Amino acid sequence: MSDTGVTVKKCQDFSEWYVEVVLKAELADYAPVKGCMIIRPDAYAVWEKIQEVVNQKIKATGHKNVYFPMFIPESFLKKEAEHFEGFTPEVAWITQGGDTPLEEKLAVRPTSETIMYATFSKWIRSWRDLPLKINQWCNIVRWETKATKLFLRTREFLWQEGHTAHATSEEAEAEVMYALNEYKDVIENYLAIPVLIGTKSDSEKFAGALYTTALESIMPDGKALQMGTSHNLGQHFAKVFDVKFIGEDKQDHYVWQTSWGITTRLIGAMVMVHGDDKGLVMPPKVAPVHVVIVPIPFKGAEPEVIAAKAKEIAQTLKAKGISVVLDDRNEYTPGWKFNQWELKGVPIRIEIGPRDLKQGQVVMVRRDTCQKTPVKEIDIPATVEKLLQEIQDNMFAKAKAILQEKTTSVQTYEEFKKVLEEKGGFIKAAWCGSPDCEAKIKDETGATIRVRPFQKEEPTTNCVVCGQCAKETVYFARSY
């Protein structure tokens, strides 16, 4: 099994374990282009599930999908100074079309604010055209110079970017929270990963935004992972790209804008949070396969009877909308198949052997707990449905317990550094609000403010860095 199974324990070498699971469970592969990745079928199916859920949500609330060009003239990127400065170090540039050098080089989109809003100024004329709420699913390029990691940091990735324009600041604020809360639902209730939500500090906000809200989770190695962001752009871009409307008051006004996105990195988070030493564990709600059926033939036990029963069960489950694979390949043993499907994280395995057949039952095995239960044939569909929900709930509960376990309140900077070194995770600490204290912590420890929670907690100590009066309690962590 050593060449096909996972050879590293999750608690031993988390980073190596992660890469092995992603490669061996066939979620992704290294591409022949440095820093890029190939998203393989099982991971792409998870992405399609995320697309389906997000599309359903945002379409129901009047957002429409579109597609804007991926090329952005350099002059556009430059229009919002903060935005340009933030993105230009990691832009891939097209300088040549066919044999001809381009007059102006083109950025491959690192994000689409500038190209979209240049057009918004053409589309939006009066209050009747508002709100404008669009979204696109596309590829994004950021020319990373740091070490890349499959799903988490690659030079090209897939994402969804929502962009909206509103008549009032209040509407834009509500939209920012709308997107954030829908992301929370997707990440917690589909991917089974609990998140903290809140705003970013100024130093961590999106380049060009008024403020950024974010969802953050903690990975088993104690490092935080940003799971999605929703930005209030205020009128910054509107002023630069001249996105104005004539109000019901007949006056010109700049629009208020938001943008928000989640990426294929969520698939990496899913692997890290739920996987175990046998491989991947897929949350049922996004799993491309819910149930694998493995017939276990013995000599003289009428394999064709077992095969027929396995097929019948598969059909019954499929009719209920459950995604089933019947693994009746002859070239592999049942044991090999068990390992293979555990590696791929399929939530439920059904085994049918000659003895089961006689007793009118099957053996059902949960991937999350590895628990085996005999189930009467007649109870199979109901048990599968119940079990899928139980697995989903259990995975979230386990992940939530880890998040809680990996969150520590500290009183002093000494304690802060000690916890960060020994345990990692989120560190709740009082902060005075000064960028200097934030910078000092980052320089000295590598930790940054991940979120300033919406639910304010009154600081019980002074600022953990400077000892001055604290303004708020925030969550620090080292991060991916």
Residues contributing to the site for its own copies (CB under 8 A)? 29, 31-33, 36-41, 44-45, 47-48, 64-73, 76, 88-99, 105-106, 108, 115, 118-119, 122-123, 128, 134, 138-139, 141, 143, 145, 155-156, 158, 331
How far, in Å, CA of 305 to CA of 320, rounded?
Answer: 23
| Residue 180 or 267 with smaller CB distance to its own copies | 267
| Residue 110 or 228 with smaller CB distance to its own copies | 110
Minimum CB–partner distance for residue 162 and its own copies (Å): 13
Of 233, 240, 239, 244, the closest CA to residue 122 belongs to: 244
Minimum CB–partner distance for residue 276 and its own copies (Å): 25
Minimum CB–partner distance for residue 66 and its own copies (Å): 5
The secondary structure of residue 285, as a DSSP letter, is: T
Minimum CB–partner distance for residue 148 and its own copies (Å): 12
Minimum CB–partner distance for residue 35 and its own copies (Å): 9
| Residue 77 or 387 with smaller CB distance to its own copies | 77
Q: How far is CA 201 from CA 260, 434, 444, 469, in A?
A: 17, 10, 18, 18
Minimum CB–partner distance for residue 29 and its own copies (Å): 7
| Residue 69 or 435 with smaller CB distance to its own copies | 69
Of 242, 271, 263, the closest CA to residue 254 belongs to: 242
Residue written as token pair 């960060």: 420
State the Cα torsion 372-374-375-376 to the nearest 10°.
170
How far, in Å, CA of 97 to CA of 272, rounded?
Answer: 41
| Residue 94 or 402 with smaller CB distance to its own copies | 94
Q: How many CB atoms lie within 10 A of CB 174?
A: 12
Q: Which residues contact 178 (CB under 8 A, 6 or more apart)?
A: 61
Provide Rg for the chain, Cα atoms: 25
Minimum CB–partner distance for residue 288 and its own copies (Å): 9
Contact 166, 174 (CB under 8 A): no
| Residue 69 or 335 with smaller CB distance to its own copies | 69
Q: How many CB atoms lie within 10 A of CB 22?
A: 27
| Residue 120 or 413 with smaller CB distance to its own copies | 120
